[in-house]
Structure 1
Amino acid sequence: MANIQERRDKSGKLISYSIRVHRGRGMDGKQLKPWTATFEVSPTWTEKSARKKAEAFAATFEKECREGVTTDSRQKFQAYCDYVIGLKEQRGVKHSTIVRYKELTGRIYPQIGHIKLKELRADHLNDLYTLLGQDGQSKRGGKLSAKTILEHHRLISTVLEQATKEGLVPFNVASRATLPKVERKEVNYFQPEQVAAIREALEQEPMKWKTLVHLLLITGARRGEVLGLKWDKVDFEGNRIYICNSVLYSPDVGIYESTPKTERSRRYVTLPPETMQLLRRYRAWQAEERLRLGEYYQNQGFVFSQDNGNPMHPDSVTDWLKKFSKRHDLPHINPHAFRHTMASMLYFHGVDSVSISKRLGHAQVSTTANIYAHVMEEADQRNADILSEVFLKKA
């Protein structure tokens, strides 16, 4: 049975428990060094509650020691963070998320990676977040946005939450850190006359790009979702597509296929007849291209692909739109702006948040409402203007 000893400060206040698990004797008959751990006590706990929690921790610690799966609570944040990221990777967390975690650790480790888990304090995190908000932290040498700083915090909090579950720390100190305020950023969307100008310019562009950009606008899909679309997911009879695949890129594996962002991102999106007709014409054009290219073209079923049939790099869409906008003297265009434009136009025409959220593939309706809060306010003002025109205008 584990041995539990109290530790108190000079004033007599209970601060922690020392846990020792005896290992018996080795082959030479000598006493083996015991397994040890420290259980920190939260200042908010009563001594009775602290003792109960310490006993539960000691029982778990002893069991893990006997089974050979214990983790040293004295290890530093960097080692434990690597362990947690590895754990998530084993459990099937998306590769893009793991890559992002590792990017964030590049800024986290130099500041707190050397600190022991049990010694990490909220002020350490506050200093880190202050530093991240200064010049020289972004890839371009500027400051990190509050939203990006919050990403770092969430990773740290996730790691410490796992440490709490494993009994390595008594509570998650990240919950006591002071976070920068993330101001709501209004989404940028195109006005109807801008959409008309873009569509007119597209008539002068190659068939593939004309169709791809049209689909971005009408579906509101993410660029990776459009690039991941395959012909067997295009329902010409039902006038809809099924989004269940995405094309992504990471430096370590290159271009790869993955499932969509969330489970609700798997969705059917109904399309207008004009879009379906455009897809038919594009499919016929693509078939002719395949015949022309012969064996060079490796058909993988993608609606949009490189010249050889392989999936397209997601950034190729962004790069093409940048050149396209300059070529036609149009405002700066990025793929996500089409997503915002579609959602905004639906709000302005009275479509409810649930329907819009479903079309966008958001995990929760609240996500849609938060992103498009200012659009909803503008739409409501338009509604008020209509009511004024209908009911209050003098004859």
Structure 2
Amino acid sequence: MKKTSIIKPYTKKNGEKCYMFKLYVGVDPLTGKEQYTTRRGFKTKKEADLTLARIKLEISKGSFRKQQAETYQDVYDLWIIQYEKRVEESTFVKTTGIFRNHILPALGNYKIDKMNVDVCQRHVDEWATKLKNFRMVKSYAAKVLDFAIKRGYLQANPFALIEMPKNLKNTHLYDANALENFYTKEQLNTFLKYMGQETNFKAYTLFQLLAYSGMRKGEAFALTWNDVDFLKNEIRINKALSKGKNNRIYEKVTKTRFPRTIKMDQKTMDTLKNWKKQQQQDYLILGFNTLQPKQLVFSNDQNKFIQPTKTRKWLEHVLNKYKLPKITTHGFRHTHCSLLLEAGVGLKEVQDRLGHKDIKTTMNIYAHVSQQAKDGAINKLANYMNM
């Protein structure tokens, strides 16, 4: 049988016919990935054959050295090894997902020395039409080229010279309700009333806790009963759950790395007490003793960490059944902040309670309050002017 040649003809944009080949050259000892070298631009098949034969001979003698970082993908493979050493496992997983889904399909095959402003501008413009978070995608894409500069593969980062477009994703079609991912006081009370009518008391306890504490979902799922002080009505928040490689759920420090203790209302603490009693009964049937000090407040049927996505199923069931306004699990953190501001609590107190490292985060993310508060502001002005 005739052996298929790896030398392939192709046509340049100017119509000129050339030849190229892609040859396997071994495994990269740093990344463990298969390495290939691609050569193109040969005017005749004979020229390509001669170069291919020479490279094969070098490989057989062990003298072949693949030119480092030929493509954006090559640089990424080197950069990601260093990046993984500097960040949390969950951050690493999110970052590799962004590269896998958006950046590498667009830029991976570009020769690193051919990366220019026009190339980068074109892809950023394209991301802006598809992605709400295109600025973050651009920022990550630029990090790889910053790394390329440090390694001497590039002189300057073309991403630094592009013009940032506006976010074109769904600018003409938007849902005003989606802009406010939180509940008013009345909406929250309605939600908790219907959630309380369901048989899932664990879910009811969780959502009441999220709404009245403002803690992150991952922080709530990492709570153990020894973090809950029923005498002082306090909860200590010093850890959080996160998702790592291969969907592994693991415990880590809080997002800001600073533990905090928050005061709680009596109603929510009573709900937690009742859940602790029911948990003891429910899990005893499953064969677990929940009276251990480090027992999780919320656990799955194997008495292990709950998958963070579980709350979406609980939430959507109630929202759809009772036709309630849409909200995400994180929206209950927004709700807590909004209601604190409506109640007249100062920004510094809100910052401390929510665990924001920088008060700018509190101001930027939660600048919007509920419509009731906005209406109240203009009514106060009208009343003042009519005095």
TM-score by length of 2: 0.72
1:297/1:308 contact within 8 Å kept:
no
Give 1:251 deviation, angstroms: 6.3
Aligned mates of 2:230, 2:307 — CA distance in 1:
26
2:142 equivalent in structure 1:
157
Aligned CA distance change for structure 1 residues 197 and 113 (closer, same or farther; 3 Å)? same
Aligned mates of 2:122, 2:374 — CA distance in 1:
43
Aligned mates of 1:312, 1:126 — CA distance in 2:
42
2:228 equivalent in structure 1:
234
1:298/1:308 contact within 8 Å kept:
no
Residues 1:279 and 2:266 aligned together? no
Give 1:211 deviation, angstroms: 0.6
Letter in 2 for 1:284: K
Letter in 1 for 2:117: A
Give 1:218 deviation, angstroms: 0.8
2:80 equivalent in structure 1:
85
Q: Counterpart of 2:109 in 1: which secondary structure?
A: coil
Letter in 2 for 1:158: K
Letter in 1 for 2:209: L
1:186/1:374 contact within 8 Å kept:
no
Residues 1:95 and 2:80 aligned together? no
1:298/1:309 contact within 8 Å kept:
no
Letter in 1 for 2:140: L
Alignment of 1:1-395 (within 5 A): 75-91=70-86, 93-106=87-100, 107-134=102-129, 143-145=130-132, 147=133, 149-182=134-167, 186-205=179-198, 206-250=200-244, 252-264=246-258, 266-294=259-287, 301-375=295-369, 379=373, 382-383=376-377, 385-386=379-380, 388-389=382-383, 391-394=384-387
Give 1:296 deviation, angstroms: 9.3
1:11 equivalent in structure 2:
none
Aligned mates of 2:372, 2:120 — CA distance in 1:
39
Letter in 2 for 1:163: A
Aligned mates of 1:72, 1:355 — CA distance in 2:
56
1:298/1:310 contact within 8 Å kept:
no
Aligned CA distance change for structure 1 residues 221 and 297 (closer, same or farther; 3 Å)? closer
Q: Counterpart of 2:369 in 1: which secondary structure?
A: helix
Give 1:388 deviation, angstroms: 4.4
The share of aligned pairs that are identical, in percent, is 30
Give 1:158 deviation, angstroms: 2.0
Q: Counterpart of 1:247 in 2: which secondary structure?
A: strand
Aligned mates of 1:297, 1:236 — CA distance in 2:
17
Aligned mates of 1:312, 1:74 — CA distance in 2:
42
Aligned CA distance change for structure 1 residues 198 and 132 (closer, same or farther; 3 Å)? same
Aligned CA distance change for structure 1 residues 172 and 374 (closer, same or farther; 3 Å)? same
Q: Counterpart of 1:252 in 2: which secondary structure?
A: helix
Letter in 2 for 1:370: N
Gaps of 5+ in 1: 1-70, 135-142
Aligned CA distance change for structure 1 residues 324 and 188 (closer, same or farther; 3 Å)? same
Aligned mates of 1:270, 1:182 — CA distance in 2:
40
RMSD: 2.9
Aligned mates of 1:258, 1:305 — CA distance in 2:
17
Deviation track 1:229-248 (CA, whole Å, cap 9, x = no partner) reads 11121122332212222223
1:85/1:101 contact within 8 Å kept:
no
2:68/2:74 contact within 8 Å kept:
no
Deviation track 1:50-71 (CA, whole Å, cap 9, x = no partner) reads xxxxxxxxxxxxxxxxxxxxx9
Aligned mates of 2:189, 2:69 — CA distance in 1:
63
Letter in 2 for 1:195: L
Q: Aligned residues, how many?
A: 311
Aligned CA distance change for structure 1 residues 100 and 270 (closer, same or farther; 3 Å)? same
Q: Counterpart of 2:297 in 1: which secondary structure?
A: coil
Deviation track 1:294-336 (CA, whole Å, cap 9, x = no partner) reads 2598976210011220111111101111011222232223212
Give 1:384 deviation, angstroms: 5.1
Aligned CA distance change for structure 1 residues 209 and 199 (closer, same or farther; 3 Å)? same
Aligned CA distance change for structure 1 residues 75 and 383 (closer, same or farther; 3 Å)? same
Q: Counterpart of 2:165 in 1: which secondary structure?
A: coil
Give 1:377 deviation, angstroms: 10
Aligned CA distance change for structure 1 residues 380 and 209 (closer, same or farther; 3 Å)? closer
1:29 equivalent in structure 2:
none
2:18 equivalent in structure 1:
none
Deviation track 1:261-284 (CA, whole Å, cap 9, x = no partner) reads 2325x3222211221122112112
Aligned mates of 1:297, 1:307 — CA distance in 2:
12
1:3 equivalent in structure 2:
none
